[in-house]
Amino acid sequence: MENWQKRIIIDPQILMGKPVIKGTRLSVDFIINLLAQGWEKAEIMRNYPDITEEDIQACLQYASERLNEEKIYLLSSSEGK
């Protein structure tokens, strides 16, 4: 599986630094949202012919890594004390 870093870039000059597919102005979150809405990879590529299946996979890898890095801290409640 190809490394997402070859396909996803973060450039402050493009979409205010949002992660995008290299060579496009299509953000990772835009592609993830299309998939979440039920779009098939083929449908995305048909509507956005500048991207490939590998680009879509890189978006998923990027999102997965970011979520795996996310940390959740539970705050103890002072109620009832």
Q: What is the pTM of this model?
A: 0.81
pLDDT tens for 24-69 read: 999 999 999 999 999 999 999 999 999 999 999 999 999 998 888 7
Question: Cα-Cα-Cα-Cα dihedral of 27, 49, 1, 37, to 10°?
Answer: 60
The pLDDT of residue 43 = 98
The pLDDT of residue 68 = 82
The whole-angstrom separation of Cα 39 and Cα 36 is 7
Structural domains of the chain in order of their starting residue, each with its CATH number: 4-69 (1.10.10.10)
The whole-angstrom separation of Cα 35 and Cα 54 is 14
The whole-angstrom separation of Cα 44 and Cα 24 is 14
Residue with tokens 């449908």: 43
